C-alpha cells in the first residue's frame, strides 16, 4: 500500500508584489511560516482547474524524482485585499478567499535559457515524458517554465496541463491522444532516451501512487459551476485518465519520437 502523502498548509500574511509575467497574475507573498511563496489564485482566469493542474503536475513530477519547488495549500483570509490600491488585484484577492496553492519561492533563481544551458539527454527525456503524459502545453522556447537555482534545473508552472478538464467531456478519449503539441517542447531535441525513461517511470507510477496524489485535491476545488458529480467522482475521473494514459504511453512516446525526428 502506498504511503500517504500530504501538503503543508500555510496562512498568507503579506501580499508582496504581483508577478505580471504570469497570465493569471500570480503573486509573491509571505506566509505565517516566514517563507516567501509564489501564490496561485483560485480567483484567476481558469479558476481552481489551474490549481488542480498545478498540484497534480507538480506532485507527479516529484514522485518521478524531478526537481519541483515545495507546493503548499495557502489560506487567504477575507480581510486580504481591502487595502490593495490596484482594483484588478483587489478583485483577484477578494475572489480567492479560502484555499489557494503556492510554490516555495526560489530566491535568486533565473529563467532557464536553452541557448546558455544544455540539458543532458536523460533529464531532457524525463521532462519531455512528464509533459507528454500530463499534456502540458507550456514548456516551449517562448515560455520554458524552468528555472536555474543553485546551478540546478527546477520545474515550475504546470497549470496549463490536463487541458481535457476545461470541457471535462470524454476523458477516456483524451487519455489516448498522442499530444501533438510536444513538437514545441524546448527540450525535445535532447530527449533521446524516451524508451528508457518510459520503462522507469511506469514502474514508479503505481496506481496507489496516482491515487495518493489525486487524493490531495480538496473538495472545494472540485465543485465547479454546472458540475453534478461529487468531488470523489471527479477525483476518480482524474485517476482513470492518468491510469489509462500510463497504460497507453506508447502513443505519446511515439508522437514525441516522430516529432523529434522531424526536428533533426
Q: Where are the alpha helices (DSSP H) in the chain?
A: 48-63, 87-94, 121-133, 171-175, 194-204, 207-214, 231-247, 249-263
pLDDT tens for residues 39-56? 999 988 888 999 999 999
Number of domains, the chain: 2
Q: Report yes or no on 114 lying in a domain.
A: yes
Q: What is the rounded CA–CA span in Å between residue 9 and residue 71?
A: 9
pLDDT tens for residues 229-239? 999 999 999 99
Domain residue limits at 78: 9-104
Q: Are residues 220 and 237 in the same domain?
A: yes
Q: Report yes or no on 3 lying in a domain.
A: no
Give the residue carrying C-alpha cell 524546448.
186
Q: Report yes or no on 1 lying in a domain.
A: no
Q: What is the rounded CA–CA span in Å between residue 107 and residue 28?
A: 11
pLDDT tens for residues 79-117? 766 666 678 788 888 888 999 999 999 999 999 999 999
Q: Are residues 115 and 67 in the same domain?
A: no
Gyration radius from the chain CA atoms: 18
Give the distance, in angstroms, between the CA of residue 154 and the centroid of all CA atoms in the same chain: 12
Q: Are residues 31 and 139 in the same domain?
A: no
* pLDDT value of position 25: 80
Phi, psi angles (nearest 5°) of residue 190:
-90, -5
Q: Are residues 43 and 158 in the same domain?
A: no
Q: Are residues 64 and 129 in the same domain?
A: no
pLDDT tens for residues 125-184? 999 999 999 999 999 999 999 999 999 999 999 999 999 998 888 889 999 999 999 999
Q: Are residues 212 and 227 in the same domain?
A: yes
Amino acid at each position: 500500500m502506498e504511503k500517504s502523502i500530504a501538503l503543508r498548509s500555510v496562512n498568507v500574511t503579506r501580499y508582496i508584489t504581483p508577478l505580471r509575467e504570469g497570465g493569471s497574475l500570480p503573486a509573491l507573498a509571505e506566509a505565517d511560516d516566514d517563507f516567501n511563496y509564489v501564490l496561485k489564485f483560485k480567483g484567476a482566469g481558469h479558476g481552481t482547474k489551474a490549481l488542480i493542474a498545478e498540484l497534480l503536475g507538480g506532485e507527479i513530477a516529484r514522485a518521478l524524482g524531478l526537481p519541483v519547488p515545495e507546493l503548499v495549500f495557502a489560506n487567504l483570509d477575507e480581510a486580504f485585499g481591502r487595502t490593495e490600491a490596484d482594483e484588478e488585484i483587489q478583485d483577484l484577492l477578494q475572489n480567492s478567499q479560502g484555499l489557494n496553492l503556492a510554490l516555495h519561492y526560489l530566491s535568486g533563481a533565473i529563467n532557464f535559457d536553452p541557448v546558455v544551458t544544455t540539458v543532458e539527454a536523460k533529464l531532457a527525456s524525463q521532462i519531455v515524458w512528464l509533459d507528454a503524459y500530463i499534456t502540458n502545453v507550456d514548456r516551449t522556447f517562448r515560455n520554458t517554465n524552468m528555472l536555474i537555482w543553485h546551478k540546478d534545473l527546477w520545474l515550475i508552472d504546470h497549470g496549463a496541463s490536463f487541458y481535457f478538464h476545461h470541457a471535462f467531456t470524454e476523458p477516456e478519449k483524451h487519455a489516448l491522444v498522442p499530444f501533438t503539441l510536444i513538437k514545441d517542447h524546448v527540450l525535445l531535441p535532447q530527449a533521446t532516451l524516451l524508451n528508457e525513461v518510459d520503462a522507469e517511470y511506469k514502474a514508479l507510477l503505481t496506481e496507489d501512487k496516482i491515487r495518493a496524489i489525486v487524493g490531495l485535491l480538496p473538495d472545494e476545488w472540485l465543485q465547479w459551476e454546472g458540475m453534478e458529480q461529487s468531488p470523489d467522482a471527479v477525483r476518480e475521473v482524474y485517476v482513470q485518465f492518468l491510469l489509462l494514459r500510463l497504460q497507453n504511453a506508447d502513443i505519446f512516446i511515439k508522437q514525441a519520437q516522430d516529432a523529434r525526428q522531424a526536428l533533426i
